Chains A and B, each alone.
Chain A
């Protein structure tokens, strides 16, 4: 196949933000999670845990809790506001001030008519959920001390509130507190500190379960207000609880990074009476588990170490299947790196700023495995801080490198860049139609900017030295209200393709300025799309790892695609658990498709036979060991390179060298450890044994 010069880029030190809260909607099988920087992410658990939507955060917006009410999603945070999200236009729909100080928790009744929040000032506030907004209804009897956690009894009559040192039960009708359950403090030094009831759960049999800062999970009788059982699960805090829908299983997340499961079973075989018994402990996190969701088949957890972990419960799924494999979602399922191929520039998107880098240069050649001497080091040309506190949603760098655009939930910004004497100029007058840009993309000749807007439409803007002019809006005929999450153009400037979270792919003819065709809808969401520069074939990779190639000229799947579907993809290919996030092509060899996921990049050579189910998929090592004439006999179309970890971008520059941006997560880990090391180096090891004295 050949040698590649690879620019191995590790200076994109992207650090995901800690997971703060999550909520699972079992009807739509969507998990909503919110990070410490306020960013909201929606994962589709029915479609390979694909991260289908992201709403960026905002400076200073600390979301503490999330709550689904039907298909509507609410959040509340320490800024004292309740926010409902617009999941179609990917932005907050509205925000309501609760006037109770910082809000710690949010919840709704089972009927979905009322929303309640727990506030710092000791009030539980009720809001009526109306069709388009929420309206304050009343306060429950005000308490001394903050309300940290809330849970509504399924019948709607009682509410349990976790506070400092106690749990209160309210009568939801009268608003009066009916019981006060005191929660014991920790022993030793923490005796003097108030215990925080971080989480409560009110079950239909009137059992209340609490998790607190003294490391206890406690079972209470909610009718009498008495303690039934205490389980000490950690030396530190129990931060969150989640109960399965059938109330037979309960999970608790701790600040040790463990998740402890309890099940409602009889503890001995002959015993009839069922009780909450501690059953399993999962350790998938290095730091605090801040958020949990108990789905029907899995434990979903997240916290300080930023990874979302889906741990299937082996009694609920078939063993040794893909379903039973644990998933760790560490990086976004979308590309945060944009490569200006012609200019050799890279654009890195961080939540609050952008960086433009020029890749380095080397001279000379080397053998495979060599590192070439770097003649010119990579250079950070521009760092652009986002304006107005809104975080960046999407960004793009034009192929020539002279235009840069980015969008937030409220605006799109366009900049003109110059490199001989580095300067950046904001294009001040943008067409007013260009206010929303879920996805941004430049045409290959850098004369047009495409921005996806509401209801899957695309706004086309012409760019030249003098002005920036609105041309027209491309609209699909399907009437989908979902946002576009993938956008690409063809090299010749004729085609524009969009994909939305309804799994629709629309292709527009830019010359005729109208919809050209809609690719037959496939059940799994597209995760990457690209149009071949010479053949105008559209290559689509889906969340279930299927690959399709669609001829835009013929408006049908290509022969190769049919062959691939007929033979089926290799099982190991299908078992990969991170989505392909980028597809590109080689100008040198039109038969090559280059794509990557988090752990590998792959060059598909369409001229070679497809791997059969019994052939070795990852065969690079084998091929390497074979003499050259033998290799061709064992070669197949999928050339997979696993030299890189945490791959963020694989792109081909004009000089045919590859750019691979990888390993940002390791930077994160070393960052954590650096912090720990400085505080600990003088203590660790030297003192721990003293405990034995």
Chain B
């Protein structure tokens, strides 16, 4: 599961005259992963050691001169290359240099030269590759199969083109990008090389992220031929909120993850000042971070760090994209967060602002473009949800949910839930438990869409809603699961005494908690989790809580050992494996404390004796392992009986 970590500031920004410019022209990697060269939009180049957040050295060109392309570092010669006032022998667009590679110069008219050959014959003629009115929008270079490529995109009368220029031998291939809605051209490009293919990722202002893949192998040398159509596939349809995106950028992080800046967070309304990581395989949001201040739509990534100019700073945000699995991609939105942080998160001012602070500017969900009636309905609902009294809201939502096409309303359900939760959080008098339960029951919600719902339910001690959420949300983060667990146990301890059945000589194990609490605890045990993330939160449980929880787990375990029926009392009950896993985890988290707690002694002794007997059993089982394996190997033969009379035909 991808994650964004705590960021830090690399340097302040001096925005240009217009506010749309961050003042940074480019960032390039230097000698190693910890050094970058930052070129500002006017005259100076600064070398930073990233981890120290400090400049090592800086160069400035004379007054009157301007740097017209970002400085690059040539690791072979340990020189920096920069172009001032566009000029070499023709207008230069960019100089590119890969670590260990030779610097390449891309001219504004599309010609490509190695820097060395250019310097040795500065006056050589530079051909015009691009048509008139065709201009470069973006460029990069890539080494694929030990072949160096300069890749650039151009725009001509609303059409976009991709050029792949291979060096040594030089070939040029031109592709035409499919047209998006009229008038839209890509906001950002990102290219990468994998499996003998160059991958181009581009973001349109309507939030569509496309990927095009070009095989490196098939590149022919037919220069100047007709532009080939470039097939594309839609990777993501990002929510854009109101209007179109203006300053946004998408960067490929690895084959499954894309970092996007300048696009709204799906559960935070229309504000675009977010940095998000999306999983393209599962179309899920993996991590999100609000960036204070203006977003300029610039984003660089070097060695697991994202570089983002926003507001008046250039921030560095480390990230991580481990190999994704469906389970992890199903959005455990925030991994390592304490309860406190979660609360903080829910009070991020901009969210409140978006959701119900600013009534003059009613927000409009992005996904309601489906039908006009939907749209109107939503708009109306938004209004009522934000102002109307509880009863009216309930009525409205009920009416909406009774519609047949509830599946189509999935985004709307999320929106509604978010609004209700925000309003409830802001207004202690407002709470609509039945409506929220109804929304959860639609199974269109998940935790990622509405991260505060569970915590709200906990705050209002609405354990029924908690239970529903635990049951229906596939992506509850471990921190929240643990918060639920804590709250449930606390309830047990407060009210538990009266539930306990007392008998002098127990013929069978007595449930240490009442039935209702057992149901709640079972729901926690049934929740999906990853122990690495759960363990730190489990450590927060007090020893009193731990002992009670272990007692309950032991009760469940004994119950299972005694009767073989897998389902207990027809409740949603955890499997033996789940019970044992939880026992192991709780013991892991609190072992030292438990050893010191006198009340826990009997419990531990019991558990120990289980283990001993089980180990003995397993050792006996081991002896017949061969037979067991044979059982596995045996195919289920269709029962043909002992005798049949069949007709066979030979040819």
Q: Interface residues, chain A, CB within 8 Å of chain B? A: 1-11, 188-189, 235-236, 255-257, 285-288, 360-362, 365-372, 374, 377-378, 603, 619-620, 623-624, 631, 635, 639, 641, 643, 657, 666, 669-670, 672-673, 675-677, 679-680, 682-684, 686-693
Contact = CB atoms under 8 A, between A and B. Distances in A.
A287 B623 CA distance: 10
Contacts, number: 154
B180 to A, nearest CB: 51
B630 A676 contact: yes
A7 B651 contact: no
B387 interface: no
Nearest to A366: B647
A2 B647 CA distance: 10
Given A8-B646, A374-B645, A676 B651 contact: no
Contacts of A368: 647-649
B624 interface: yes
Interface stretch (B334-342, B488-496, B577-585): B577-585
A369 B647 contact: yes
Nearest to B616: A189
Interface in B592-630: 607, 610-611, 614-619, 621-630
B643 A8 contact: yes
Nearest to B608: A693
Given A4-B647, A673-B627, 15 more contacts: A8-B643, A9-B642, A10-B640, A10-B641, A10-B642, A255-B626, A256-B625, A257-B626, A368-B648, A372-B647, A635-B651, A641-B650, A676-B630, A690-B611, A693-B580
26 contacts: A2-B650, A3-B648, A3-B649, A6-B646, A6-B648, A8-B644, A188-B619, A189-B616, A255-B623, A365-B647, A367-B647, A369-B646, A369-B647, A370-B646, A371-B646, A372-B647, A374-B644, A639-B650, A669-B634, A672-B627, A673-B630, A673-B631, A680-B624, A688-B618, A690-B614, A693-B614
Given A669-B634, A690-B618, A693-B611, A676 B624 contact: yes
A8 B580 CA distance: 50
A683 B648 contact: no
A378 B645 CA distance: 10
9 nearest A-B pairs in the assembled complex, by CB-CB distance? A623-B651, A368-B649, A690-B614, A676-B627, A11-B642, A1-B650, A362-B645, A286-B630, A639-B650
Nearest to A254: B626
Given A9-B643, A693-B611, A631 B621 contact: no
Contacts of B607: 693
B621 A684 contact: yes
Contacts of B626: 255-257, 285-288
A620 B651 contact: yes
Contacts of A620: 650-651
Interface residues of B, number: 41
Given A7-B645, A10-B642, A689 B623 contact: no
A594 to B, nearest CB: 11
B131 interface: no
Contact of A687 (B584, B614, B623, B630): B614
B634 A670 contact: yes
Contacts of B623: 236, 255
A372 B645 contact: yes
B576 interface: yes
Interface string B550-564: 000000000000001
Nearest to A12: B642
A319 B625 CA distance: 33
B629 A641 contact: no
A691 B615 contact: yes
B621 A688 contact: yes
Nearest to A368: B649
Interface string B566-577: 000000000011
A288 B626 CA distance: 8
Contacts of B645: 5-8, 360-362, 371-372, 374, 657
B637 interface: yes
A644 to B, nearest CB: 10
A687 B621 CA distance: 10
A236 B621 CA distance: 12
Contact of A680 (B614, B628, B648, B650): B628
A687 B618 contact: yes
Contacts of A675: 627
A11 B644 CA distance: 10
A682 B566 CA distance: 12
A72 to B, nearest CB: 36
Contacts of A619: 651
Contact of A691 (B576, B614, B640): B614
A687 B617 contact: yes
Contact of A10 (B584, B618, B627, B643): B643
B651 A371 contact: no
Interface centre among B564, B607, B649 (most CB of A within 10 A): B649
B217 to A, nearest CB: 34
Nearest to A621: B651
B643 A639 contact: no
Contacts of A666: 637
Contacts of B644: 8, 371-372, 374
A136 B95 CA distance: 100
Contacts of B637: 666
A692 B624 contact: no
B643 A7 contact: yes
A419 to B, nearest CB: 19
A442 B287 CA distance: 86
A669 B629 CA distance: 12
Contacts of B611: 690, 693
Contacts of A286: 626-627, 629-630, 633
A611 to B, nearest CB: 14
A541 B580 CA distance: 62
A360 B650 contact: no
A603 B633 CA distance: 33
Contacts of A690: 580, 610-611, 614-615, 617-618
Contacts of A10: 640-643
Given A10-B641, A670-B634, A680-B624, A2 B649 contact: yes
B651 A1 contact: yes
B648 to A, nearest CB: 5
B188 to A, nearest CB: 48
Given A1-B651, A360-B645, A693-B580, A677 B619 contact: no
A670 B637 CA distance: 10
Nearest to A375: B645
Interface string B5-24: 00000000000000000000
A693 B630 contact: no
B650 A676 contact: no
B336 to A, nearest CB: 25
A38 B69 CA distance: 92
Interface centre among B584, B622, B644 (most CB of A within 10 A): B644
Contacts of B624: 676, 679-680
B621 A683 contact: yes
A624 B651 contact: yes
A603 B646 CA distance: 17
